[in-house]
Structure 1
Amino acid sequence: MVTIRDILKSLLLFHVLIESPAKAITPIVLWHGLGDTCCNPLSLGGFATYLQKQCNGTKVVSLKIGSNFLEEMRSSYFMNSNLQVAQACKQIRQDPDLVDGYHAIGFSQGGQFLRAVAQRCPDPPMKILVSLGGQQQGVFGFPRCPGSSFTLCSYARRLLDYGAYWSWVQNEIVPAQYWHDPLDEKTYKEKSIFLADINNEKTINETYKENLIKLQKLILVKFGADTIVQPRESSWFGWYKPGQDKEVMDWKQTALYTEDWIGLKTLDEAGKVALLDIPGADHLQFSKDWFTENIVNRYFQ
């Protein structure tokens, strides 16, 4: 028998449900890697759809650098990275749905590009940054071409081999802008137009540091069998010991960390850095189940 008490309990539950909608999840911004585009349904477009469903319909913005598919793919290889970051900042700033802040996920080189966004464009605020196989300390080597355009990649690789620090190569070839030669640090610091700047290796830009430490969380994902990022420890801010290209230092041994050039040590000591490793996985090889368990459920919900 249904009692008056049962009816009152049901009415109370109904009132709670209509007065307390599901908590909105922070919008998410994506930036693709080399040789990819914002909205390819077989890559980032499909990931954006999955992420939106997984996060209760939250808005997912996949940054687009270029007016069409071909321009986008080309810009991932051939464009000044500083201009790309400026365009990304503009897109983010002009989106009314991001005004209260957003989480960011960078794929491969998109990881360091989104870090540059956090450092240079603090409004609206980036809350959580996930770098998936990012080249945070750069690369010294280009062993395998990612993406689907072998011709573009092969051309870029030849230019890196011949003169990564030539002025026109620096301004036009995206991987050259995070090419980090451990055997010639002086030239790297003088000629690098992007990575040496955002890593505060030219002069210390205190604003970069102040902005980065505003992050709620910095999540760095390394792929244990990465054949793209060389050395793969760069995804965790690790780098070669001085003067050679064989032995790699732990990120906490680097001057970038110990001298806290960009606020990495400050973030770490505040418990705001998470290092995740996927053993045996090649570059960007992860499952949606892994991402749901280790990123979405742990940090976005």
Structure 2
Amino acid sequence: MAAFLVLFFSTWVFFVHGIPVQGNPIPLVIWHGMGDSCCNPISMGAIKKMVENQIPGIYVLSLQIGNSFVEDVENSFFLNVNVQVARVCDQLAKDPKLQQGYNSMGFSQGGQFLRAVAQRCPNPPMRNLISVGGQHQGVYGLPHCPGESSHVCDWIRKLLNSGVYTKVVQDRLVQAEYWHDPLNEEDFRNNSIFLADINQERSVNKSYKSNLQALKKFVMVKFLKDTMVIPPDSEWFAFYKPGQSAHIIPLQNSSLYTEDRLGLREMDKAGKLVFLGVEGDHLQFTHEWFNENILPFLH
């Protein structure tokens, strides 16, 4: 009877509180977004603390790109993304606490950066990838711009396009590396040094596909009233139809999916893709929403 009660209580603790009763919790790696840092007490610092409070004993690594708070923020704008990803891969490979596997959670551009880690660096193994507002098909717009009908938006966009795919801009401006111009798909495909590569636009790297498919879950969070990411549909891997910038093609109707260059179609059929929508603007969510919708993927 005593043994039965112990087993019953342990099972109740696991299912009600979501806390593993044997072994250590799965570690978590966090990558912040543009203009943020690893340890800002009102952003990533708060997220780290919230997770640690909900999952006692968990190891949470909030990535700092650089040697200081200031460098971390600056590098989110000016350090080549491929260099950032390589540094993170090396850091994770050397961290003894991650060797049995880890979950990852990227915020805004940190979402697609962690996807690059999953595709390029399978060791240590990433289990679940949670992208919170990540722009997996890139962006083609300005934060808080009035909209597609604004001549100002179009004028500034044309200025960006005049140089966004040049080598000097691609090498030195992070946001240019995931700028996706649907009016110039060929230019994007040939000259984007980051997004076009991880989205297999030029050629198919079989290891990118198999490494991504090794994930248990790929969770994508879209902010349904997002005014920062244009188009917000990119957060669910959807994007404009090539040749125009008004009509959105859902992921399931895109060539990326139908050709299955990343293995997303197979993952979708296997139930590995999770699409979550949250009311609110970019990265705006409540603790209650986070606990209910995100915490289950951190165990």
Normalising by structure 2, what TM-score? 0.88
Q: Matched residues in 2 for 1:121 and 1:79: separation?
A: 19
| Equivalent residue runs for 1:1-301 within 5 Å | 9=2, 13=6, 22-23=21-22, 24-144=24-144, 160=160, 162-279=162-279, 281-296=280-295, 298-301=296-299
Q: What amino acid is the match of 1:60?
A: V
CA shift for structure 1 position 55: 1.3
Q: What amino acid is the match of 1:285?
A: Q
Cα-to-partner distance string for 1:49-107 (whole Å, 9 max, x where unaligned): 11111112200000111101111100000010000000111111111010000000000
Q: Matched residues in 2 for 1:43 and 1:170: separation?
A: 28
Change (3 A) 1:35 1:206: same
List runs of 5+ in structure 2 lacking aligned partners: 11-19, 146-155
Q: Matched residues in 1 for 2:45 and 2:55: separation?
A: 15
Q: Which runs of 4+ in 1 moved over 3 A?
A: 156-162
Q: Matched residues in 2 for 1:270 and 1:72: separation?
A: 37
List runs of 5+ in structure 1 lacking aligned partners: 1-7, 146-155
User: How many residues end up aligned between the 2 structures?
Assistant: 279
CA shift for structure 1 position 295: 1.3
Q: Which moved more, 1:241-250 or 1:191-200?
A: 241-250
Q: Matched residues in 1 for 2:290 and 2:136: separation?
A: 20
Q: Is the 8 A contact 1:63 1:91 kept in 2?
A: no
Q: Is the 8 A contact 1:159 1:169 kept in 2?
A: no
Q: What amino acid is the match of 2:286?
A: S
Q: Matched residues in 2 for 1:179 and 1:172: separation?
A: 13
Highest Rg: 1 or 2?
1
Q: What amino acid is the match of 2:266?
A: T
Q: Is the 8 A contact 2:28 2:298 kept in 1?
A: no
Cα-to-partner distance string for 1:207-259 (whole Å, 9 max, x where unaligned): 10010000000000000011111110000000111210001011101101111
Q: What amino acid is the match of 1:252?
A: Q
Change (3 A) 1:158 1:72: farther
CA shift for structure 1 position 122: 0.1
Q: CA RMSD in A?
A: 2.4
CA shift for structure 1 position 143: 2.5
Normalising by structure 1, what TM-score? 0.88
Q: Matched residues in 1 for 2:129 and 2:240: separation?
A: 24
Q: Matched residues in 1 for 2:166 and 2:121: separation?
A: 28
**SS across alignment from 1:193:** coil
Q: Is the 8 A contact 2:137 2:234 kept in 1?
A: yes
Cα-to-partner distance string for 1:188-211 (whole Å, 9 max, x where unaligned): 011100000000001111110010
Matched-pair identity in %: 50
Q: Is the 8 A contact 1:29 1:61 kept in 2?
A: yes
